[in-house]
Amino acid sequence: MLLSRLFLSLASTACLSLSWAKLLYVGVNESGGEFGVFGSKGQGLPGRFNVDYAFINKDTVDIFVDQEKINLFRVTFLMERMCPLSFGLGARFNETYFKEYADAINYITLTKGAYALIDPHNYMRYNDPSSQPFSGSVIGNSSDPTAATTLQFGEFWFELARRFASNPRVIFGINNEPHDMPTQLILANNQAAIDGIRLAGAFQLILAPGNGFTGGHTWTQVTNGNAPSSDFLNKLRDPIKNTAIDIHEYLDIDFSGQHDACEQPGPSNLANLTTWLRQNHLKAVVSEFGGGNNQNCFNFMNDMLKYLAANDEYIGWAIWAAGPFWGTFSPCCGADTGSLEPGNMNDLGQPNAFQTVWPAAVRPNIPKTLKRSGISSLH
Ligand SMILES: *[C@@H]1O[C@H](CO)[C@@H](O)[C@H](O)[C@H]1NC(C)=O
Ligand SMILES: *[C@@H]1O[C@H](CO)[C@@H](O)[C@H](O)[C@H]1NC(C)=O
Ligand SMILES: *[C@@H]1O[C@H](CO)[C@@H](O)[C@H](O)[C@H]1NC(C)=O
Ligand SMILES: CC(=O)N[C@H]1CO[C@H](CO)[C@@H](O)[C@@H]1O
Q: What tens digit of pLDDT does each residue of 256-288 get? A: 999 999 999 999 999 999 999 999 999 999 999
Length of the chain: 379
Q: Which residues line ligand 1 (CB under 6 A)?
A: 46-47, 49, 84, 94, 96-97
Mean pLDDT, rounded, for 169-173: 98
- CB distance 94 to ligand 3 below 6 Å: no
Kindly list the catalytic residues.
Answer: 177, 288
Under a CB-based contact definition with an 8 Å cutoff, are residues 253 and 214 in contact?
Answer: no
- For the entire predicted model, the pTM comes to 0.92
Percentage, residues of the chain above pLDDT 70: 93
Residues paired with 81 in a beta bridge: none
pLDDT value, residue 21 = 44
pLDDT grade for 40, boundaries at 50, 70 and 90: low
- CB distance 121 to ligand 4 below 6 Å: yes
Q: What tens digit of pLDDT does each residue of 65-115 get? A: 999 999 999 999 999 999 999 999 999 999 999 999 999 999 999 999 999
Gap between the Cα atoms of 57 and 322, Å rounded? 9
Q: Which residue has the higher pLDDT, 107 or 15?
A: 107
- CB distance 322 to ligand 4 below 6 Å: no
- CB distance 135 to ligand 3 below 6 Å: no
For the chain, which domains are there? 22-365 (3.20.20.80)
pLDDT value, residue 364 = 97
Cis peptide before 321 (omega within 30 of 0): yes
Under a CB-based contact definition with an 8 Å cutoff, are residues 377 and 370 in contact?
Answer: no
Average pLDDT, the chain: 93
Mean pLDDT, rounded, for 3-15: 37
| 3-class secondary structure, 53 | strand
pLDDT value, residue 42 = 58
**Ligand 2, atom nearest to 146 Cα:** 5
Give the Å distance between the CA of 273 and the centre of ligand 3.
9
Give the Å distance between the CA of 147 and the centre of ligand 2.
9
Residue of minimum CA distance from atom 10 in ligand 1: 46
